[in-house]
Chain A
Amino acid sequence: MEAENQQCPRCHRTFSTRKINSLSHTFAWTIAALVMLVPANLYPMMIYYTLGKPEASTILEGIATFVQFGMYPVAIVIFIASFVVPLAKIIGLFILMYHAKRASKLTVKQQGQLYHIVEFLGPWSMLDVFVVAIMAAVVNLGFLSSIEAAKGITYFGLMVVFTMLAAESFDARLLWDVQKDDVQKDDVQKENSQNENTCKHPPQPPSDVGLNQASQHDSP
């Protein structure tokens, strides 16, 4: 395929019209992230020692402690950053992958927004890893009180990295392909139709009219 090995005249990098095997890469990273999410939530993130007495807490237990002490702002920030966002990111990626294969009730614009949200949120879920790193270094007052990192943190960190890699390997243009196929009533398998689009059609500016028509087409 000639289109696969062209060089960008500006940055001299070889490019392909689509990211190669985008879906399978995204799927692999998302599954890896999902697998990491389980131990990340089951194992404690850090261990507090107060007067020599250890007390381990998982993400959710830590949030519960904050709520108990009435520190609602921190509880909300941590709850969103380390529980809601990672979970939402993985679910969002699955939704996108599902819709890259078949047309959906969501318009392409909404799916595009979903993708950009997933992409934007990526780094922010690293928050908890940094908090543990800082706390473990700073709170070290000998017998009085000290904090140590615990097992869960490794899984959590890996989970965040995996979701970021998943979002990066997802090709948002796949969402457009589905719309085109649907309009053409094309039953050829995704992979084939993708290649056809690659070779025959130059990039077309998405017009709002086309978008509306396509989405009307979709709805049952």
Chain B
Amino acid sequence: MKPATSLNNVVICRRCDAALSKPNIQPGHKAICPGCGALLFELKKNPMERTMAVSLAGLLLFFPAILLPMIGVSAAGAHNEASLIDCIVILLNSGYHIVALIVFLFTIAIPIVHLLAAFYIAVAVHFNKISQSLLVFFRSYHVLDSWTMLHVFFLGVIVSIYKIVDLAELTVGGGLISFVLLLICSTLVSVTLDHYYVWEKMEQALED
């Protein structure tokens, strides 16, 4: 189905829902909503390459971020350290299945699918291999956006460190460093992924 011709030149502001006529802008420029000042869309040069690189880096960082210990404590000869996966396992072992599921979903499962979707989209659009399934990926990418909580988890780590610091001696593990890098990557993915460009390319490819 082709879009109604009258709507081809319409952009909807994602923040204030205003319907505006689509401006013609040059690559490297941004279009701003006159009502609320939100970014409508932006034309970047080589839009997919950065997303590809950053999302791949993020996916690779996931393994150390989950498996390596994040923080360790030691006091009076006793020592203990825990990784993100340990947090979930301990919750499971003490019978908090729902909480374990919540932590697993929002800090591991959803961020991984989110990054994977971004990577797949970037690769497919870059090499012009656009299929019907890409639509599903891009839609799920949008839905998952509000459910990734890596940043909240990171604040949780900081608060925990602050809480423990008086209690025992603290060590910071490789897990935390990987996690910070992962957080940077996942933020960069959201910043660099050019939705407008992706939709336009998909529309073109699927029409043929």
Interface residue ranges, A against B (CB under 8 Å): 7, 9-13, 69, 71, 73-74, 77-78, 109, 112, 116, 119, 122-124, 126-142, 144-145, 148-149, 153-154, 157-158, 161, 164, 168, 172-173, 176, 203-206, 208
CB <8 Å contact, A74 and B159: yes
Binds A, one of B55-63, B65-73, B114-122: B65-73
Query: Within 8 Å CB of A78, what residues of B?
Result: 159
CB <8 Å contact, B146 and A138: no
Is B37 close to A, CB under 8 A? no
**SS of A interface (majority):** helix
A71 to B3, CA, bound (A): 58
Given contacts A130-B153, A139-B167, A203-B19, contact A77 B3 (CB under 8 A): no
Shortest distance between the CB of A162 and any CB in chain B (Å): 12
A131 to B160, CA, bound (A): 6
Shortest distance between the CB of B27 and any CB in chain A (Å): 21
Interface residue ranges, B against A (CB under 8 Å): 1-4, 12, 15-20, 35, 70-76, 78-82, 86-88, 90-91, 94, 96, 98-99, 102-103, 106-107, 132, 135, 138-139, 146-149, 151-153, 155-157, 159-160, 162-164, 166-168, 199, 202-203
- Among A9, A69, A119, the most chain B Cβ lie within 10 Å of the Cβ of A9
Shortest distance between the CB of B114 and any CB in chain A (Å): 13
Given contacts A123-B147, A153-B99, A158-B98, contact A145 B168 (CB under 8 A): yes
Cross-interface CB contact of A134 among B4, B19, B157, B203, cutoff 8 Å: B157
